[in-house]
Structure 1
Amino acid sequence: MSRQLNMDTVQQNFWKEEFLRQKMLRCEWHRKYGSMVKAKQKAKAAARLPLKLPTLYPKTPLSPPPAPKAVPSRAPSPAPGAPIQSEMYPVPPATRALLYEGISHDLQGRYHYLNTRKLDMPEMRYLFPVTTNFTYGWQLGPPVKQELVSCKMCRIESFFRKNGAFALLDPRDLAL
């Protein structure tokens, strides 16, 4: 719509009244609903803020019970009923000694320790499955080697079709 250049006083007064009426409607709406809009904006802003959780400090350890007067002659061993702080079993001393022999660059030290530790089954290293991936191999026992069958017709070398994806099925491609 093009702007009219020849406006007389009647049209000017009409547009002036229209403008003032719109302005008054906006002011009335803001006075009536402005507080609700601000409250909603504050609620949305508060919802976007990250939730702050309270800091939990470690509990102070209980004082140990007084030692009995009659001391046994043998050295004290760790109590079997004591709560375990770790999810792993303690490392055997012979395996731990590998850490301090040589350097990893020469395939000794930490490198040899980690490779030795890796050979243990997860049940020997951990008290319980730590992640859900542990449950797939938990308590399976030692791996069993399968011997290959000497018959070449019985062995399937791949699950891909030998004659292409869109070709008709070949009876040799099916494993029944």
Structure 2
Amino acid sequence: MLRQLNMDTVQQNFWKEDLLREKMLRCDWYRKYGSMVKAKQKAKAAARLPLRLPTLYPKTPPSPPHAPKAVPRRAPSPVLKAPVQSEMYPVLPATRALLYEGISHDFQGRYNYLNTRKLDIPEMRYVFPITSNFSYGWQLGPPVKQEPVSCKMCRIESFFRKNGAFELLDPKDLVL
């Protein structure tokens, strides 16, 4: 849109009224729908917050009833809290010591710790499967090594045709 340098009074009044009308329309819309928009924004913000699940503590066995004694005792000892059960098994001290040796930039420290921790199978790191993706690799056992096929005629190099999609089929691509 070109800028008009020679505007007369009529054009100036037109633009003034037009901008004032747009401003009034925006104000009317905000008065009418502003509270609904704010409520939707708050609902979306609340939906984005992660859900906090309650922590389940292990059940303590019921204690046997105390027999009344005539001997006065000292003040009762404080009740021991049940230990918080973690999702992961504790790390071996030798593996944890890797965290404090060197820096990650030199492939030491955290880098070395994480690579060492990665070598353990999930059953050795976690008490139970945390996510649904864990069910694919949970308790599979050691990996089975497949021996290479000795017959080169049976081996297919690739799923795709070597000579293009619309070319005639190459007899090497066919498997009988």
1:48 to 40, 59, 71: 40
Matches within 5 A, 1:95-106: 95-106=95-106
Q: 1:47 to 1:92 in 2, by over 3 A?
A: same
Structure 1 unmatched runs, 5+? 1-39, 60-64, 69-78
Q: 1:113 to 1:45 in 2, by over 3 A?
A: closer
- Distance in structure 2 (CA, Å) of the matches to 1:174 and 1:103: 54
Aligned length: 121
Q: 1:46 to 1:105 in 2, by over 3 A?
A: closer
**Percent of pairs with identical residues:** 71
> Over alpha carbons, which structure has the higher Rg?
1
| Structure 1 residues 22-58: Cα deviation after superposition (integer angstroms, max 9, x where no partner) | xxxxxxxxxxxxxxxxxx84774355232276xx9x9
Structure 2 counterpart of 1:66: 77
- Distance in structure 2 (CA, Å) of the matches to 1:138 and 1:174: 38
| Structure 1 residues 81-106: Cα deviation after superposition (integer angstroms, max 9, x where no partner) | 7341x322111111101112233233
Q: Secondary structure at the match of 2:142?
A: coil
Structure 1 counterpart of 2:94: 94
Q: 1:42 to 1:66 in 2, by over 3 A?
A: same
- Distance in structure 1 (CA, Å) of the matches to 2:83 and 2:123: 20
Q: Secondary structure at the match of 1:50?
A: helix
Matches within 5 A, 1:22-171: 41=33, 44-45=36-37, 47-51=39-43, 66=77, 82-84=83-85, 86-170=86-170
- TM-score for the superposition, normalised by structure 1: 0.52
| Structure 1 residues 107-163: Cα deviation after superposition (integer angstroms, max 9, x where no partner) | 222221111001011121122222332222122111111111121111122111123
- Distance in structure 2 (CA, Å) of the matches to 1:167 and 1:139: 46
- TM-score for the superposition, normalised by structure 2: 0.52
Q: 1:106 to 1:167 in 2, by over 3 A?
A: same
Q: Output the aligned Cα RMSD.
A: 3.8
Structure 1 counterpart of 2:10: none
Structure 2 unmatched runs, 5+? 1-31, 47-51, 56-75
